[in-house]
Chain A
Amino acid sequence: MAPTVLELAGVRVSYAATDALDVPALEVREGEVLAIIGPNGSGKSTLLRVLGLLERPTRGTVSFRGRVVDAAGALAARRRMAVVFQQPLLADMTVAGNATLGLSFRGVTADECESRLGRWLERLNIAPLRDQRARTLSGGEAQRVALARALVLEPDVLLLDEPFSGLDEPSRAALLPDLAAILRADRVTTVLVSHDRGEALALADRVAVLMGGRIRQLDETARVFHAPVSEEVARFVGVETLVTGRVLSREAGLTVVDVAGRKLEIAAAARPGEEVRLGIRPEDVTLMLPTETIPLSSARNQLGGTIARVVPSTPGTRVVVDVGFPLVATVTARSVADLGLAEGVTITAVFKASAAHLVGPRSLVAGSARPP
């Protein structure tokens, strides 16, 4: 496993006797992108400030490369990190002046500044803006300068606090892949704070879900999004179908669960007779017109039903199918048109056994328990 760069132990931040943050342990590993996601007010930004040594926790310690950071070592440790906030917060100087601000704090030589500046302005596609004054930039350009100003430091840890939230959609859509490419190419150790799960999916290796100041789940990105440990987390990460069922049988690696009279086959292990909660992500559900012969496929679940609602949204259209319980699928606008999806239309919803996950702390037990 990659070595730990930044580590929190027993960290608590209290404001007026209430805990805003309570993180017993958190490690940021070398080269990973760790996303901290959670609703507004969950303590994400506070956690980032603690990690960036910008706010001293009420209790607990922050360690940088295995050493607890004390007041004397804070500046040196801070200088091996860089933070980008939601607002670009540029100084009233040129793009070049802004981008080299952190280097000037570190007393880096003019030659070195120059070469790093040229390289990073180039990589963030803002080289032509070099001598422009910061206040004449658009929001997207300004945030690119803010990112250049951080990346030019070539930090051991890059901390990003909602770096895309202040941008309009086209700027955000342009910047996200550019940043993703840089982080992947250079393997920059990054902590990304976001309320947007799409950003976490696009960038993160691991995801921590923060709610009410506590980390509710910390796991590889795919596991957090597909196997949330609680309904709260499930709802936040976008598992839209959440239903209760009773396990009928378990054999040949398949668990059969009765949900509202429909028999679902799932891959996760559970004991017969047990009551379970199932979560299914909308993008894992495929819709087919029942008039066509449904081909034999590896998708174990094929449920007929009628469309209860069609809600256009981004990135896909949400279609709620009543199959005895409401099952949510996301499809493209193109599919809505081609298949003639509308309320009242009869449809078949298809998903794989592995797409339905057990939700809740129980799924951890079931994952390790051998089926009977």
Chain B
Amino acid sequence: MDLLLGGVRQAVALLLAGDGETWAILWLSLVVSGSATLISLAMGIPAGTALALVRFPGRGLVVSAVNAGMGLPPVVVGLLVTLVLWRSGPLGGLELLYTPAAIILAQVVIAAPIVAGMTLAAVQQIPREFRLQLLALGASRVQMVWVVLREARLPMLAAVMAGFGGVISEIGASLMVGGNIKGQTRTLTTAMVLETGKGNFDVAIALSILLLVLVFLVNWALTGIQQRGTGP
């Protein structure tokens, strides 16, 4: 108990002191996971929408693959991305391994199926008749999709939260493809593993407080958007 309380006290002191390295780690985590989430949205929303609205042969298989992808273990993604980016791998020439870009890539692989799968579910729960009604009011296909997405905005924002929450807190992939290099690819989670291993519990606790606050603030903001004007 003392260990915990003492750790928390030291952690708060550490944060208040405004340690430059801690803030750099926080900033990197936010940029990397934020970018990965945005890219995942850009890919996952159109893909999920198309899967929900378009019928084509083999669709069932693709939907199953997306749903399975929602549960991809980050370490497996880390291994795959490492192999792809390895010097002798298919994208080795880009020399991205152990850079923030590599972490973003891995996190996109993790988050894109989550966003696509949740978008698919969100769009599918809008009745077919509603889409027909929009067309019957003179909507073009693009206008129809736009109103349908607007109608599905509550579960869609849940998709954003799930995507961001999934990547900001994952560790396996970040560690494998980022390398936890101080000042370059060290994120909140990889730093925590390191500090905990070294027995620096106060730093680890400070980082975990930062991570929790960050996750809370982002979800608070998204919930604010989600629940706006949805009173009973």
Contacts and interface: CB of A to CB of B under 8 A. Distances in A.
Answer whether A and B are interacting partners.
Answer: yes
A14 B150 CA distance: 34
Given A105-B139, A133-B229, 9 more contacts: A78-B135, A78-B136, A81-B138, A82-B138, A85-B132, A87-B129, A91-B150, A102-B137, A102-B138
B138 A89 contact: no
Interface string B148-162: 001100000000000
Interface string A80-108: 01110101010110000000011001100
Interface in B97-133: 127, 129-130, 132-133
A260 interface: no
B147 A91 contact: yes
Contacts of B136: 52, 54, 78, 81-83, 85, 159
B143 interface: yes
Nearest to B132: A54
A105 B151 contact: no
A105 B133 contact: no
B138 A79 contact: yes
B147 A106 contact: no
B226 to A, nearest CB: 12
Contact of B137 (A82, A87, A133): A82
A101 B137 CA distance: 8
Contacts of B147: 91, 101
Most chain A beta carbons < 10 A, residue from B129, B134, B135, B229: B135
Contacts of A145: none
A81 B136 CA distance: 8
B138 A91 contact: no
B200 interface: no
5 contacts: A52-B136, A79-B138, A91-B147, A91-B151, A153-B137
Pairs A-B, 4 closest by C-beta atoms: A83-B136, A102-B137, A79-B138, A89-B133
Contact of B129 (A85, A133, A150, A153): A85
A82 to B, nearest CB: 6
A159 to B, nearest CB: 8
Nearest to A94: B229
B140 interface: yes
**A interface, over-half SS:** mixed
Contacts of B134: 101, 105
A294 interface: no
A302 B57 CA distance: 69
A250 interface: no
Interface of B: 127, 129-130, 132-140, 143, 147, 150-151, 229
B140 A75 contact: yes
A87 B127 CA distance: 11
Nearest to B136: A83
Contacts of B132: 49, 54, 85
Contacts of B143: 105
Contacts of B139: 102, 105
A102 B144 CA distance: 11
A149 interface: yes
A202 B23 CA distance: 74
Contact of B138 (A85, A87, A153): A153
Interface in A100-151: 101-102, 105-106, 133, 149-150
Contact of B133 (A78, A85, A153): A85
Nearest to A87: B129
A106 B140 CA distance: 9
Nearest to A98: B137
Given A85-B129, A89-B127, A89-B130, A149 B151 contact: no
A54 B138 CA distance: 10
A75 B133 CA distance: 14
Contact of B151 (A82, A83, A92, A159): A92
Interface string A45-60: 0000100101000000
A159 B135 CA distance: 13
A79 B136 CA distance: 8
Contact of B135 (A54, A149, A150): A54
Interface string A155-166: 000010000000
A105 B150 contact: no
Contacts of B151: 91-92
A92 B147 CA distance: 10
Contacts of B138: 75, 78-79, 81-82, 102, 105-106, 153
A83 B140 contact: no
Contacts of B130: 89, 91
B52 to A, nearest CB: 17
Contacts of A91: 130, 147, 150-151
A105 B140 CA distance: 8
B31 to A, nearest CB: 34
